[in-house]
């Protein structure tokens, strides 16, 4: 009798455990999804998300071997969207399937990117995981500036977000915008964003406690951006490690949208390759403060400007006030242990850091650098004077890009309007001829170069 009772209890516990487990998983097929790659399954996927949220937590399953096509989805608290290996969640090719009410792009003159595929607002503890793929289906035949180009993801005022192992491809605009979010973990993901223009990877705007690691990027625009579009929403406590960046534009961009402050950022153990503009593009121009950042253990190949830093004035935010921003501060940066091989590029290959007259970038250490370039600088380049400043008349309403200054009079490093600068153990190797000086300091207060060489010969300023 006792044995029978024990067996009965075990069966009851097994069934109860199975029921509890079953209640935690919400397969979109059970909510009516056709998952044939053609039918718009928005209602079914949203129903599964809503059910998991109503259950106070659960995992929504996109099953392997299926392609689920959908318009805008609204993520909710305590929901995990799990894409099984071989599963695809694909964006609808019809802009009508992307409603309003998903906030907006914070850059001026870009309302065509206001809509998005996956949106969350004021949500807590949600996740994206699995070895499947989210495909934005954002090809130009579906989306352009006239129709609108939805971002793949946008999260506003959310916290405790996890994204692991998934692949994100083909957004019509940015892959993701994270606005004023806290506690973010991104690990082991892959982003391929070449289907359309403005194909940013991860854009963190006014976010805190962000960790990105073990991920790869292949983009038509900046891979990772740190931004601060609101004065009271700083971007701080950011750690990025073990990533691979390849892009048409910038590997990692900090600033531009910079009404708020930036502080405490580390980037380490990353590789950058085949980049048209810059590896580290750091720009403060909307009145905030930027300080306390370390960039170390980086390898770059075919990256014209390994470090491009500007301190200037310009309005980038869609909500910018009428008056121009004052310049506050940009200070305390370390660039260390970097190898950059630009021998396959032209003469416009250099470290370029510049403040403005009377507004210096302060406290910079550049050390332990190997920089390989092709050369090609002429005598005319070497004697180039009166380089453009990033003043409002030069910018003409646009961003402080390298093209506004052009070829530099230095072959390796040009630093301007700076204070307290140390360059040490900098090794420049030039394959061809170059008439320019290897390093130029222009309006640098307390600048020092030590133990630095050009083709193994000591550099003297």
> Tens of pLDDT along 364-401?
999 999 999 999 999 999 999 999 999 999 999 999 99
Residue 422 within any structural domain of the chain: yes
Q: How confident is the model at residue 150 (pLDDT cuts 50, 70, 90)?
A: very high
Mean pLDDT in residue range 445-461: 95
Q: Is the pLDDT of residue 251 over 50?
A: yes
Mean pLDDT in residue range 415-436: 98
Q: Is the pLDDT of residue 347 over 60?
A: yes
State how many domains the chain has. Answer: 1
Domain of 282 in residue numbering reads as 256-461
Q: What is the pLDDT of residues 155-204, one digit of tens each?
A: 999 999 999 999 999 999 999 999 999 999 999 999 999 999 999 999 99
Averaged confidence pLDDT in the chain: 95
Q: How confident is the model at residue 124 (pLDDT cuts 50, 70, 90)?
A: very high
Residue 14 confidence (pLDDT):
44
Residue 439 within any structural domain of the chain: yes
Q: Using CA atoms, how far apart are residues 23 and 21, in angstroms rounded to an integer?
A: 5
Q: How confident is the model at residue 460 (pLDDT cuts 50, 70, 90)?
A: confident
For residue 297, the 8-state DSSP code is E
Mean pLDDT in residue range 56-69: 98
Residue 461 confidence (pLDDT):
76
Residue 169 within any structural domain of the chain: no
Residue 56 within any structural domain of the chain: no
> What percent of the chain clears pLDDT 90, i.e. is strictly above it?
94
The candidate with the shortest Cα–Cα distance to 262, out of 336, 334, 329, 313, is 329
Residue 291 within any structural domain of the chain: yes
**Angle CA 389–395–399, to nearest 5:** 110
Q: Tell me the HSE value of 126 on the side-chain side, using a 13 A CA sphere.
A: 24
> Two tokens at 273?
């390759």
Residue 23 confidence (pLDDT):
67
Residue 218 within any structural domain of the chain: no
> Two tokens at 280?
């580290």
Mean pLDDT in residue range 12-32: 68
Q: What is the pLDDT of residues 277-290, one digit of tens each?
A: 999 999 999 999 99
Q: What is the pLDDT of residues 290-323, one digit of tens each?
A: 999 999 999 999 999 999 999 999 999 999 999 9
Residue 5 confidence (pLDDT):
55
Q: How confident is the model at residue 7 (pLDDT cuts 50, 70, 90)?
A: low
How much is the pTM? Answer: 0.95
Looking at per-residue confidence, does 170 or 13 come out higher? Answer: 170
Q: Is the pLDDT of residue 245 over 60?
A: yes
Residue 325 within any structural domain of the chain: yes
Query: Can you tell me which residue has the tokens 């491009």?
Result: 308
**Three-state secondary structure call for residue 255:** strand
Residue 344 confidence (pLDDT):
98
Q: Is the pLDDT of residue 16 over 50?
A: no
Q: Which residues contact 397 (CB under 8 A, 6 or more apart)?
A: 314
Residue 305 within any structural domain of the chain: yes
> Two tokens at 439?
């390093």
Mean pLDDT in residue range 37-57: 98
């Amino acid at each position: 009798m006792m044995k029978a009772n024990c067996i009965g209890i075990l069966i009851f516990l097994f069934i109860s455990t199975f029921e509890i487990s079953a209640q935690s998983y919400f397969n979109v097929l059970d909510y009516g999804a056709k998952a044939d790659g053609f039918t718009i399954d928005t209602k079914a996927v949203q129903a599964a998300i809503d059910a998991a949220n109503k259950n106070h937590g659960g995992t929504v399953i996109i099953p392997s071997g299926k392609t689920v096509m959908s318009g805008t989805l609204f993520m909710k608290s305590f929901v995990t969207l799990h894409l099984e290996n071989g599963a695809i969640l694909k964006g609808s090719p019809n802009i009508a399937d992307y409603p309003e009410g998903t906030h907006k792009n914070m850059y001026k003159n870009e309302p065509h990117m206001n809509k998005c595929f996956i949106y969350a607002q004021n949500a807590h503890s949600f996740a994206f995981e699995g070895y499947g793929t989210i495909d934005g289906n954002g090809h130009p035949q579906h989306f352009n500036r006239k129709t609108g180009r939805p971002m793949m993801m946008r999260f506003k005022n959310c916290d405790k977000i996890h994204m692991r192992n998934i692949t994100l491809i083909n957004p019509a605009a940015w892959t993701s915008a994270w606005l004023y979010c806290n506690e973010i973990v991104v690990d082991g993901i892959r982003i391929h964003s070449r289907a359309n223009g403005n194909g940013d990877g991860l854009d963190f705007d006014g976010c805190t406690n962000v960790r990105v690691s073990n991920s790869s990027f292949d983009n038509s625009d900046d891979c990772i951006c740190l931004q601060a579009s609101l004065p009271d929403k700083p971007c701080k406590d950011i750690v990025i490690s073990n990533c691979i960046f390849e892009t048409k534009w910038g590997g990692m961009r900090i600033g531009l949208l910079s009404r708020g402050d930036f502080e405490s950022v580390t980037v380490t153990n990353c590789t950058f390759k085949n980049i048209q503009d810059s590896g580290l593009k750091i720009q403060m121009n909307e009145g905030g403060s930027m300080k306390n950042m370390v960039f170390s253990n980086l390898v770059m190949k075919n990256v014209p400007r390994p470090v491009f830093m500007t301190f200037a004035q310009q309005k980038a935010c869609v909500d910018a006030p009428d008056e121009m921003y004052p310049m506050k501060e940009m200070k305390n940066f370390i660039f260390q242990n970097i190898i950059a091989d630009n021998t396959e590029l032209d003469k416009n290959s250099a470290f370029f850091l510049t403040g403005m007259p009377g507004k210096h970038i302060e406290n910079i250490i550049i050390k332990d650098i190997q920089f390989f370039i092709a050369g090609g600088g002429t005598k005319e380049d070497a004697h180039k004077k009166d380089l453009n400043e990033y003043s409002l008349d030069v910018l003409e309403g646009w961003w402080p890009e390298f093209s506004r200054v052009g070829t530099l009079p230095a072959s390796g490093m040009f630093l301007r309007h700076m204070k307290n600068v140390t360059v040490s153990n900098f090794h420049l190797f030039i394959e061809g001829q170059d008439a320019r000086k290897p390093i130029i300091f222009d309006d640098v207060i307390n600048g020092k170069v030590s133990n630095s060489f050009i083709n193994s010969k000591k550099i003297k300023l």
